[in-house]
């Protein structure tokens, strides 16, 4: 891994790395925060998956999670949201192509060569971090919007790999949303049966989750119709799935919303990861 930048932060270190990804067949960049506790012993890791148009940098600089992670002794990783580069397929729309990987492994051309963000997070980057950093093997995952979708679907499909999962304003039912149907059709093809493994509501209905789930959603979110939190809430109730879905009055879809409830989520993950 090549270090692009490194700074002291809250007694720990905030580093930005670049590496050649075999899975995505391009250079990938990600950020890692190591808390001060990592100097003495291995620590749990909390993944933060970002939303549409974001890079590794947005949450790293705007969400304010490092101070909370330092307090509780968690490492943080901020992956990019898609492969990037001159040879990577793209689209003029903001919600398809670079910056909009949707955490799926594309099967359709021209996307299938590079757009394999599910495998990148679950397998390649996880293994790379385990080898290079002082981590104890206990992982939690969270994310915002498209990243909330990614966090939920990746955790629901890999309960043995993640001990805790939460989300901020996730795209909850992408197979029935414009933030999902267009992208899944492009990346995965027109057979909607192939989409089900990337829809948190369908996965929860089919498999549940062995622990509890934390979700925050702003009531003034300008994208509520795309996010469809009511579908996920209904499934939580019908399955009697242990979960807390909080509607936060007046909050929109911005990083101000994420930063406002970031401490709650970091503490929530710490309670589960440190007790493991």
C-alpha to C-alpha distance for 88 and 36, rounded to whole angstroms: 37
Active site (annotated) includes residue 253: yes
* Catalytic-labelled residue, pool 56, 139, 198, 253: 253
Q: Tokens 């089919």 label which residue?
A: 206
C-alpha to C-alpha distance for 105 and 270, rounded to whole angstroms: 30
* Catalytic-labelled residue, pool 80, 105, 216, 221: 221
Q: Structure tokens of 273?
A: 């990861």
* Catalytic-labelled residue, pool 9, 50, 145, 177: 145
8 A C-beta contact, residue 209 and residue 155: yes
C-alpha to C-alpha distance for 61 and 213, rounded to whole angstroms: 25
Active site (annotated) includes residue 221: yes
Supply the residues annotated as catalytic. Answer: 145, 221, 253
């Amino acid at each position: 891994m090549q270090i692009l930048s490194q700074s002291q932060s809250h007694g720990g270190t905030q580093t930005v790395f670049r590496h050649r990804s075999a899975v995505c067949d391009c250079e990938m960049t990600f950020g890692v925060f190591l808390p001060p506790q990592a100097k003495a012993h291995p620590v749990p890791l909390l993944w933060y998956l970002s939303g549409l148009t974001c890079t590794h940098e947005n949450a790293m600089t705007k969400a304010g999670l490092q101070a909370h992670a330092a307090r509780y002794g968690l490492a943080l990783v901020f992956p990019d949201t898609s492969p990037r580069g001159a040879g990577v397929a793209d689209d003029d729309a903001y919600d398809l192509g670079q910056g909009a990987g949707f955490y799926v492994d594309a099967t359709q051309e021209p996307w299938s060569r590079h757009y394999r963000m599910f495998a990148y997070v679950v397998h390649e980057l996880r293994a790379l971090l385990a080898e290079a950093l002082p981590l104890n093997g206990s992982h939690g995952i969270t994310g915002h919007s498209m990243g909330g979708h990614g966090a939920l679907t990746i955790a629901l499909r890999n309960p043995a790999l993640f001990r805790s999962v939460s989300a901020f304003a996730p795209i909850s039912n992408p197979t029935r949303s414009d933030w999902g149907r267009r992208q899944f059709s492009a990346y995965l093809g027109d057979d909607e049966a192939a989409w089900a493994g990337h829809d948190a509501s369908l996965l929860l209905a089919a498999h549940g989750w062995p622990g509890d789930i934390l979700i925050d959603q702003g009531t003034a979110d300008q994208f509520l119709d795309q996010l469809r939190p009511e579908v996920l809430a209904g499934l939580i109730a019908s399955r009697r799935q242990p979960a807390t879905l909080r509607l936060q009055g007046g909050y929109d879809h911005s990083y101000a919303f994420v930063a406002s409830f970031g401490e709650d989520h970091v503490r929530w993950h710490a309670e589960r990861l440190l007790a493991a």
